[in-house]
């Protein structure tokens, strides 16, 4: 009898202890708001991103028209392209130099060239060529659009009643495709530059997200604050080593891409270094902000992963950026990885420089400034 009573009245007492422990864990879970938000928010975020934002069929691709002649047929082709979901006509140019600049800077993914004498050749029953230059650094986006282009132009010419063909079975025109920067459509040239930004984002966020919380948990933060050093100096001093680590990581990845995967570096290496430094500091500042919000290292890790998920899905690394709806593209534009991937691909594959990529460089610098400002303010508030 004595042993049974001491053991908690047999099975009933055992179940009571189990139930009490379960209630205790539920209470503790509800008090840890960041962990609870991660458990609930992460699957919902994945559902919405994969269900609504991710689309492997791109649409509204930035397109320019190189108009060598201003004719009715040329205007019909432009109108037909405007009326589709695949292409969004951004500008009409008349010089080949403008076409090269648009493609290199990323302001246009396609340039449709209507050559001089195109309408006259159609009227004579010849088979003129319609020239298309496509930015093939994203093979998925370019292949889908190029496949749809022939049917769009054919429909436009068929609706133009001013042109009659003597041989209806004969093709009215041919499309000459020029896949710029990636003629073979190699996925390696698309993935490796994107992996550079993705790996840096993941590692740097985790490194710095654990930085402050580790100091607090170990009790060494008070020792740092008792020393004659300002909070801002503490933050910059903790970030500085990771800047070097990030640059070393970037060098290793770029070297492996160049020597192992044969990914060229056609642009200015200094531009690549400058953009990488901007990107590294931006991610370190964001990770540092997470570390000032989190109460422990587990929460800091969870916040870093919550930020990493939309980066990898909405930046254009895994899925075509142009295939996402407008609201998803707005979110993507607010993510550092989106602009960095554009810069890296342009510098390595197109031979561009920072000057050519002014928009993405300015956007990355602005995001870095905002992230550093938030990190500094959060760090001071945490110490107070």
Burial category of 367 from C-beta neighbours within 10 Å (exposed 0-12, middle 13-18, buried 19 and up): buried
Residue 34 lies in a domain: no
In a shared domain, residues 205 and 268? yes
Round to whole Å and give the CA distance between 42 and 36.
10
Instruction: Answer with the one of 123, 155, 180 that is the final residue of a domain.
Output: 180
Going by C-alpha positions, the residue among 85, 149, 159, 164 that lies closest to residue 113 is 149
> How many domains does the chain fold into?
2
Assess whether 80 and 99 both reside in one domain.
Answer: yes
Residues 159 and 262 in one domain: no
Is 23 domain-assigned? no
Q: What is the DSSP letter of 350?
A: I
Q: Are residues 129 and 235 in the same domain?
A: no
List, as one string, the DSSP characters of 290-340: HHHH-SSHHHHHHHHHHHHHHHHHHSSSSS-GGGS-HHHHHHHHTSHHHHH
Q: In tens digits, what is the pLDDT along the chain, a chain of 384 residues?
A: 444 444 445 555 677 777 878 787 777 667 766 666 666 666 777 676 666 667 667 778 889 999 988 888 888 888 888 888 788 898 988 888 888 889 988 889 889 998 888 888 887 878 888 888 989 888 877 777 777 787 787 777 666 545 555 455 566 778 888 889 988 888 889 899 999 999 999 999 988 888 778 777 777 766 766 777 776 777 788 888 889 999 999 999 999 999 999 999 999 999 999 999 999 999 999 998 898 888 788 888 888 988 998 999 899 898 888 878 888 899 999 999 999 999 999 999 999 988 889 999 999 999 999 988 888 887 765 555
Residue 318 · residue 312 · CB < 8 Å: yes
Q: Considering 180, 210, 227, which residue would you say is the last residue of a domain?
A: 180
In a domain, 223, yes or no: yes
State which residues form the domain around 250. Answer: 187-383
Residues 223 and 283 in one domain: yes
CATH number of the CATH domain containing 156: 3.40.1710.10
């Amino acid at each position: 009898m004595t042993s049974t009573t001491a053991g908690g009245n047999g099975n009933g007492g055992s179940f009571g202890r189990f139930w009490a422990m379960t209630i205790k864990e539920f209470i503790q879970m509800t008090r840890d708001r960041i962990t609870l938000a991660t458990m609930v928010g992460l699957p919902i975020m994945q559902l919405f991103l994969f269900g609504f934002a991710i689309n492997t069929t791109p649409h509204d691709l930035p397109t320019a028209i190189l108009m060598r002649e201003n004719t009715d047929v040329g205007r019909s082709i432009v109108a037909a392209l405007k009326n589709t979901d695949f292409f969004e006509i951004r500008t009409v140019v008349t010089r080949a130099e403008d076409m090269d600049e648009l493609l290199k800077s990323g302001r246009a993914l396609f340039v449709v060239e209507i050559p001089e004498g195109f309408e006259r050749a159609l009227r004579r029953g010849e088979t003129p060529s319609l020239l298309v230059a496509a930015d093939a650094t994203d093979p998925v986006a370019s292949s889908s659009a190029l496949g749809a282009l022939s049917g769009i132009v054919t429909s436009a010419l068929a609706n133009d009643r001013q042109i009659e063909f003597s041989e209806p079975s004969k093709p009215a025109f041919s499309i000459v495709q020029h896949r710029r920067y990636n003629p073979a459509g190699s996925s390696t040239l698309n993935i490796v530059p994107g992996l550079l930004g993705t790996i840096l984002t993941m590692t740097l966020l985790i490194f710095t997200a654990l930085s402050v919380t580790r100091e607090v948990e170990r009790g060494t933060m008070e020792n740092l604050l008792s020393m004659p050093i300002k909070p801002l100096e503490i933050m910059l001093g903790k970030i500085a080593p990771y800047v070097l680590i990030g640059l070393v990581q970037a060098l290793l990845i770029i070297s492996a891409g160049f020597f192992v995967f044969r990914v060229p570096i056609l642009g200015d290496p200094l531009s690549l270094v400058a953009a990488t430094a901007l990107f590294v500091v931006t991610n370190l500042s964001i990770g540092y902000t997470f570390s000032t919000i989190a109460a422990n290292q587990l929460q800091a890790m969870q916040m870093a992963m919550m930020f990493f998920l939309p980066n990898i899905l909405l930046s254009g690394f895994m899925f075509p950026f142009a295939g996402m709806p407008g609201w998803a593209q707005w979110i993507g534009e607010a993510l550092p990885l989106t602009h960095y991937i554009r810069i890296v691909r342009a510098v390595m594959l197109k031979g561009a420089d920072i000057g050519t990529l002014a928009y993405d460089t300015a956007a990355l610098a602005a995001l870095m400034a905002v992230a550093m400002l938030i990190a500094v303010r959060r760090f001071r508030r945490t110490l107070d």
